[in-house]
Amino acid sequence: MDFTVLRLTLPRMAVSAMLAVSLFASIAEAKDISSFGGTELGTVPEFHPELGMGWLEGYLDQKALPNSLLLIPRPPEAGSTAQLLDDEVARNTLALRTTPRFALAENDFDLKFSSLISDFSCALNTQITEENAPYLSTLLRRSVSDLGLSTYTAKNYYHRTRPFQQNNEPIGVPKYRAELAKDPSYPSGHTAIGWGLALLLTEIVPDRADEILARGRAFGESRMVVNHHWYSDVVWGRFMGAATVARLHASPTFRADLEAARAEVAVVLAKGLAPAGDCKAEAAALALGFQASDVTAIDILLEPDTTMLQHAKANNARLLKAYPAGFPLDAAHNPHITLIQRFVRTADLDKMYARIDQVFTSAKVADMKLAAIKYYYIPTNDLGVAGIVIERTPELVKLQADLIDAVRPFAVATGSSAAFVTTPDDPLIDPLLIGYVSTFVPEASGEHFNPHITTGVAARKYLEDMIAEPFERFTFSPAGAAVYQLGQFGTAARKLNAVDVNR
């Protein structure tokens, strides 16, 4: 959070909806909640009204705020491993400049209260306003002041410069560059606010905790996307947000307001109001993450028709019955036929899509007749990854060769974990997978091409018996084609571009 910029920018609820309405009605009849220690609506002065932010004075005085100088470590020193990580993350955001994720990050810069509550509308799956939730609004408008102020003891002591002052790269909301440069970077106040509000909202709407926390985390990550903050600024800003929420719970007034907000929001949720904004577009932007490598690990694939899907899902059900710890065929494990896997330059993806589209159009993929000929499995210790083998035909081999030629101008030799879709809990890609993608051409192409559809996992003994069974050959056709970004274990994790093969 940047006060110099602000001057310019302006336990699960067990009660039924009926009980919530009753509780809220009793509160409303009292006109305010001061009778049991809460904030009387309309009595708290605005926090620096000249800023136009719509915040109220916080619950905590300056001495009661968590002391960020005592609670968080010094910012990374130049040349340290931590600073090298900050530098790498900053570089990895650059490829997001022209994407919806960057536009969302610019929107997240706005700290006006009306914007803040709107940012969480999709996560809450409802529309909260100051009119339909005055107690919640008071709670959050007071808390946000405490959350932002909690970062300034460390900010004013360390005076850390921002990433754009060192890497000289463009920033989001560039008209505030000079003002941002005057405000210290460490830790991030925006992040403390976003994470703190997410924590409070999860207490009020626990059924939406995952969605709310994910949006709160992304709110802080937006600070890196726009090149306003370092990775470590965001990490420790999130910490200060959590520390402030913990301290707020020691305030009887805060706790009373929290209970009133719970009852009030239950009434709002019961009305079934639609969220504000385009939640589908927001989800697509958030799916891009907060950093993108200069290199992307891709899987160019064919999507099978319903005939193959039925066979694949039947085999998957069989394998899950034999080995329940395996994976289902779902949105994260779509049945497909890999044609090529490669590392390519992220900046060239659009050019590559155009070349690939031409190849698929010329090949008349929708007219192809493919044959499933047997089961297979690849052993991994006592288990095996199994699937259905597709007959390798001259037509398929030529399609693969044409795609390799189309992608070659944009390909690079190898990549790192950042080229794949990862999660915070599983951020490192197995080096064997990186090696496999690096050498897919030529080691899995041409005469080495083995077209197949992966259907699941089971014990090797079971799979030995399965592949020994008679296999009834069947034919099918491609229903589509696409480019995916690879994830852990070589899964087609994120669709990057779809190809209409029926043109």
Sheet holding 492-499, edge to edge: 411-412, 337-345, 295-304, 478-486, 492-499
Both tokens assigned to 366: 């929708």
Residue 315, SS3? helix
**Lowest mean pLDDT, pick from 30-34, 87-91, 223-227:** 30-34
What are the DSSP calls for 124-150, one per residue? HTS---TTT-HHHHHHHHHHHHHHHHT
- Is residue 417 scored above 60 in pLDDT? yes
**Is residue 255 classed exposed, middle or buried when 0-12, 13-18 and 19+ CB atoms within 10 A define those classes?**
middle
Tokens 């006006």 locate to 112
Q: What is the pLDDT of residues 159-177, one digit of tens each?
A: 999 999 999 999 999 999 9
What gap in Å lies between CA 402 and CA 502, rounded to an integer? 19
- Is residue 109 scored above 60 in pLDDT? yes
Using pLDDT thresholds of 50, 70 and 90, give the confidence band for residue 36. Answer: low
Using pLDDT thresholds of 50, 70 and 90, give the confidence band for residue 33. Answer: very low
Q: How far is CA 206 from CA 123, 346, 440, 481, in A?
A: 11, 38, 46, 40
- Is residue 29 scored above 50 in pLDDT? no
Q: Are 93 and 290 in contact (CB under 8 A)?
A: yes
What gap in Å lies between CA 375 and CA 474, rounded to an integer? 12
End-to-end CA distance of the chain: 50
381: left (phi over 0), alpha (psi -120 to 50) or beta: left
| Secondary structure E strands in 238-331 | 295-304
pLDDT at residue number 424: 56
Both tokens assigned to 119: 């940012």
Residue 60, SS3? coil
**Rounded to 5 degrees, what are φ and ψ at 232?**
-65, -30
pLDDT at residue number 416: 86
Which strand (E) or helix (H) includes residue 82? Answer: helix 81-92
Using pLDDT thresholds of 50, 70 and 90, give the confidence band for residue 493. Answer: confident
Range 338-361 average pLDDT: 94
Q: Which residues are catalytic?
A: 190, 223, 229, 233
pLDDT at residue number 289: 83
Q: Are 150 and 65 in contact (CB under 8 A)?
A: yes
Q: What is the largest CA-CA distance in the chain?
A: 82
Q: Which of 263, 281, 491, 266 is nearest to 387 (CA)?
A: 491
Residue 345, SS3? strand
pLDDT at residue number 422: 77
**Lowest mean pLDDT, pick from 101-110, 147-156, 324-333, 398-407:** 324-333
Range 121-134 average pLDDT: 93
Half-sphere CA count of 447, side-chain side, radius 13 A: 0
Which strand (E) or helix (H) includes residue 78? Answer: none
Alpha-helix runs per DSSP H in 296-393: 306-322, 349-363
Beta-bridge partner residues of 304:
478
pLDDT at residue number 425: 59
**Lowest mean pLDDT, pick from 92-101, 113-122, 203-212, 462-471:** 92-101
What does the buried/exposed string (b/e) look like for 412-439 if buried means 16 or more CB atoms within 10 Å of the residue's CB?
A: eeebbbbbbbbeeeeeebeeebbeebbe
**Lowest mean pLDDT, pick from 42-51, 234-243, 256-265:** 42-51
Domains of the chain: 3-286 (1.20.144.10), 295-499 (3.90.1140.10)
pTM: 0.63
- Is residue 313 scored above 70 in pLDDT? yes
The rounded percent of the chain whose pLDDT value lies above 90 is: 73
What rounded mean pLDDT belongs to the chain? 89
What does the buried/exposed string (b/e) look like for 85-124 if buried means 16 or more CB atoms within 10 Å of the residue's CB?
A: ebbebbbbbbbbbeeebbebbbbbbbbbbeebbbbbbbbb
pLDDT at residue number 97: 86
